[in-house]
Amino acid sequence: MKRKTLLFIGLLFCKSIFGQVTDFQKEFNSINENLMLSLGSYAVANFALSGAGYLNSENEQSKRFHEMNVMWNTVNIGLALPGYIKARRGGAPMNKGEMLKAQKKTETIFLINDVLDLGYIATGIWMREVAPNQLDREDLFKGYGNSLILQGSFLLAFDAVAYYIHHTHGKEFPALEKVVLSTSGGGVGLKIALD
């Protein structure tokens, strides 16, 4: 009788953990959906503003600035749209290990992106600095450089905020790392870290 009671309690607990993983995954996808919606909205706004800016620019440097903004945000929309669709669909339910792996991978991607964003900003600064030595391409270097600084700065802030949101969300679910269910012989084991 004791065994059946323990097994029943263990199954209820496992069901509860599975429910927590499912809820966590829904929140994870919702965060990604909102982040990709934000990135996509920024890209669309850039298309509109820089498209109009390009058409109305009276000097070459301004034209090149708006041109690079449009090209840059083609990439942003190319990342945001599939990311949004993937997050909206939610994907197959994940188990504890898969969810932890997805969480860590997402945090790592945003951290790596922040390093790349610093590289974009540095490249923009370099382009502006060497522009006077480029003779007939000075306006292109200044315009593209200014655009890289702007776009890199936005992405630096975006990726830092995205990392923070995901990292904070990941901390809200300590049960994922503290519960282990195992089977051996003719029994089921449930180990819970209480620290």
Enumerate long-range contacts of 117-121, CB under 8 Å, 24 or more apart. 117/152, 117/153, 117/155, 117/156, 117/159, 118/152, 118/156, 119/152, 120/148, 120/151, 120/152, 120/155, 121/148, 121/149, 121/152, 121/153, 121/156
Up-side HSE of residue 123: CA atoms within 13 Å toward CB? 13
Round the average pLDDT of the chain to a whole number and report it: 86
Q: Which two tokens stand for residue 56?
A: 């109305």
Q: Give per-residue pLDDT as tens, 63-107.
A: 999 999 999 999 999 999 999 999 999 888 988 888 889 999 999
- Predicted TM-score (pTM) of this structure: 0.80
Q: Which amino acid is at 117?
A: D
Q: Which two tokens stand for residue 160?
A: 């830092």
> Under 8 Å CB-to-CB from 77, ≥6 apart: which residues?
40, 43, 44, 47
pLDDT over 90 at 3, yes or no: no
Q: Give per-residue pLDDT as tens, 13-59.
A: 444 455 578 888 999 999 999 999 999 999 999 999 999 999 999 99
The enclosing H or E element of 88 equals helix 60-89
Q: Give per-residue pLDDT as tens, 51-75.
A: 999 999 999 999 999 999 999 999 9
